[in-house]
Amino acid sequence: MLINFCKYQGVGNDFIMIDNRSNSFNRQDNVLIESLCNRRFGIGADGLILLQHAQHLDFEMLYFNADGMESSMCGNGGRCIVSFAQSLGLIQQGRTSFMAVDGIHHASIVNNDSIELQMIEVHTVEERSADYFLNTGSPHYIIFVEDVDRINVVEQGKAIRYNDEFSKEGTNVNFVQIIADNQIKVRTYERGVEEETLSCGTGVTAAAIATSLKVKNAVSHFYVQTLGGPLEVKFVHQFTDNCYVDIFLIGPAVKVFEGQINI
């Protein structure tokens, strides 16, 4: 069976995109998905995304980690599927609404390769001494460090991801260095990939919110540097309810290549 696919990347976080509106791809075949994501024996990617038909919306996004398992929301993948959907003619006037595992998302195409993606609202941020834990569509543990370049992300991230609290469900672990009031640098250990990734969209969103809490200022628009490139996060902090709304992740979504693979 031949499968048509496209390969996209958002600041180095890369994904296999498959138009599955016909339901011809078996979404239950976790072994196949893992093999397609394998960088030596498959196409190679941090994850695989199926674009599905959705009633009353432009499409549905189903995201699978590189281990083949369906996972929670992926911010970089969300931006990439918007670009993919545009190439399929599913988006009108540069704006779209689609379903994901954490609910409905809205997005707009800022220019040819930059997408502004609305994330879910954040109503709870756990402060754990100097660390933070929150869910921005995926769970994220935030650790602030003096020099993020000197951190062994895999070793230290794995220790938290597999500790007694998180080993069953897993968590992503982000190491954050504050560069200026509105600038941070982030490196991420990503569950499901079980490695450091060049970028994590829900991770930088969580890092920006945690930074706003840590530095206790009114900054609500952050410029974030990842190993794969720059991203932006902006939000509104509703102080009366202590929640974060109108959260947007902004950055590129780039088609790398397309092809066919025989399975």
* Confidence (pTM): 0.96
Options 3.10.450.100, 3.10.310.10, 3.40.1410.10, 3.30.365.10; CATH for 125-245 is: 3.10.310.10
Options 3.40.50.1820, 3.10.310.10, 3.50.40.10, 3.30.460.20; CATH for 2-119+253-257 is: 3.10.310.10
Give yes or no: 74 in active site: yes
User: Mean per-residue pLDDT for 179-186?
Assistant: 96
Question: Long-range contacts made by residues 106-115, C-beta under 8 angstroms, separation at least 24?
Answer: 107/78, 107/79, 107/82, 109/82, 109/83, 110/250, 113/83, 113/252, 113/253, 113/254, 114/250, 114/251, 114/252, 114/253, 115/79, 115/80, 115/82, 115/83, 115/250, 115/251, 115/252, 115/253
Give yes or no: 200 in active site: yes
Q: How many CB atoms lie within 10 A of CB 55?
A: 6
Give the pairing type, strands 114-118 and 243-252: antiparallel
User: Mean per-residue pLDDT for 248-252?
Assistant: 98
Distances in whole angstroms, Cα of residue 243 to Cα of each of 72, 228, 248: 21, 29, 14
Task: Give residue-wise pLDDT tens across range 211-240.
Answer: 999 998 778 999 999 999 999 999 999 988
Selected catalytic residue, list 6, 37, 80, 200: 200
Euclidean distance between CA atoms 202 and 206, whole angstroms: 6
Question: What confidence tier does 4 reach under pLDDT thresholds 50, 70, 90?
Answer: very high
Selected catalytic residue, list 6, 37, 74, 80: 74
